[in-house]
Amino acid sequence: MARKGRKTEKKAGAGRVDQRSILKAFKDAGRPMRLAEVLSVLQAGKGAKRDLKDLLRDLLDQGKIIRTKGGAFGLTESMSLMTGVLEVQRSGVGFVIPEDKRRKDIFISPNDFGDAWNGDRVVCAVIPGRKGKNPEGRIVRVLDRALRKLPVRILKRLGPDMFISHPTDTKLQFNIMCDTQALDDEPQEGDIVFVLAGEKLDFKLWAGDAVEALGSEDDVAVQESLVKSLHGVPTSFPNAAVVEANALPAEPEQDDFRERVDLRDLPLVTIDGAKARDFDDAVCVRPDGQGFRLWVAIADVSHYVRPGSALDREALARGNSYYFPQSVEPMFPEALSNGLCSLNPDVNRLSMVAEMHIDRSGHVSDERFYPAVIRSHARLTYAQVHRALELKDRETRADIEDVLPMLEDAERLARILHRMRVERGTLDFDLPEPEILFNMNGETINIQRRPRTFAHQIVEEFMIAANEAVARFLERREMPCMYRIHPSPDMDKLRSVFKLLSRSDVGERIPAEASPEAVRELLNAVAGTEVEFVANRLLLRAMMQASYGPENEGHYGLASECYCHFTSPIRRYADLIVHRSLKAALGFGDVPAPKPGTLQEIGDHISGRERVAMQAEREILKRVTILFLRDKVGAEYTGVINGVADYGFWVELNEVMAEGMVRLSSLDDDYYVYLQERQEIWGERTRRRFGIGQTVRVFLRDVNLSRLEVDLELMPTRQPRKR
| Closest alpha carbon to 516 in 492, 533, 535 | 492
pLDDT at 9: 45
For the chain, the domain total comes to 6
pLDDT in tens, 371-423: 999 999 999 999 999 999 999 999 999 999 999 999 999 999 999 999 999 99
Q: Beta-carbon neighbour count of residue 210 at 10 Å?
A: 24
More confident residue, 422 or 133: 422
| Closest alpha carbon to 706 in 79, 96, 21, 189 | 189
Q: CA-CA distance, 87 to 93, in Å (whole number)?
A: 9
Domain check: are 100 and 131 in the same one? yes
Question: Is 433 within a domain?
Answer: yes
Furthest-apart CA atoms within the chain: distance in Å: 105
Question: Is 329 within a domain?
Answer: yes
Domain check: are 468 and 518 in the same one? no
Q: Return the percentage of the chain with pLDDT > 70, whole number.
A: 94
Question: Is 689 within a domain?
Answer: yes
Domain check: are 86 and 186 in the same one? no
pLDDT at 499: 87
Q: CA-CA distance, 467 to 356, in Å (whole number)?
A: 12
| CATH label of the domain that carries residue 669 | 2.40.50.140
Which of 33-42, 79-88, 317-326, 681-690 has the highest average model confidence (pLDDT)? Answer: 317-326
Question: Is 623 within a domain?
Answer: no
Q: What is the pTM of this model?
A: 0.85
Q: CA-CA distance, 450 to 434, in Å (whole number)?
A: 5
pLDDT at 693: 85
Q: Which of 543, 564, 582 is the last residue of a domain?
A: 543
Q: Return the percentage of the chain with pLDDT > 90, whole number.
A: 64
Per-chain mean pLDDT for the chain: 89
One-character DSSP codes across 106-143:
EEE-GGG-TT--TT-EEEEEEETT--SSS-EEEEEEEE
Domain check: are 263 and 376 in the same one? yes
The amino acid at 440? M
Strand partners, 629: none
Which residues are CB-contacts of 698 (< 8 A; sequence separation ≥ 6)?
A: 636, 637, 638, 639, 651, 653, 660, 662, 712, 713, 714, 715
Domain check: are 352 and 467 in the same one? yes
Residues 81, 101: contact at Cβ < 8 Å?
no
Q: CA-CA distance, 351 to 343, in Å (whole number)?
A: 9
pLDDT at 479: 96
Q: Which of 52, 77, 102 is the last residue of a domain?
A: 77
Domain check: are 514 and 566 in the same one? no
Domain check: are 593 and 536 in the same one? no
Question: Is 628 within a domain?
Answer: no
DSSP secondary structure code for residue 290 in this structure: T
Task: Give me the mean pLDDT over the 551-563 stretch.
Answer: 95
Domain check: are 91 and 121 in the same one? yes
Angle at 618 (CA atoms; ends 617, 623), nearest 5 degrees:
100
Domain check: are 43 and 93 in the same one? no
Q: Which of 144, 161, 188 is the last residue of a domain?
A: 144
Residue 52 pLDDT level (bands cut at 50, 70, 90): confident
pLDDT at 223: 96
Question: Is 374 within a domain?
Answer: yes
pLDDT in tens, 445-459: 999 988 889 999 999
Q: Beta-carbon neighbour count of residue 51 at 10 Å?
A: 19
pLDDT in tens, 276-323: 888 999 999 999 988 999 999 999 999 999 999 999 999 999 999 999
Whether 3 has a pLDDT exceeding 50, the answer reads: no
Question: Is 719 within a domain?
Answer: no
Question: Is 222 within a domain?
Answer: no
Domain check: are 200 and 329 in the same one? no
Domain check: are 161 and 191 in the same one? yes
Helix axes 310-318, 239-247, angle to 10 degrees: 120
* Lowest-pLDDT range of 10-24, 80-94, 476-490, 562-576: 10-24
Domain check: are 324 and 212 in the same one? no
Q: What residue numbers bound the domain in which 524 lies?
A: 491-543
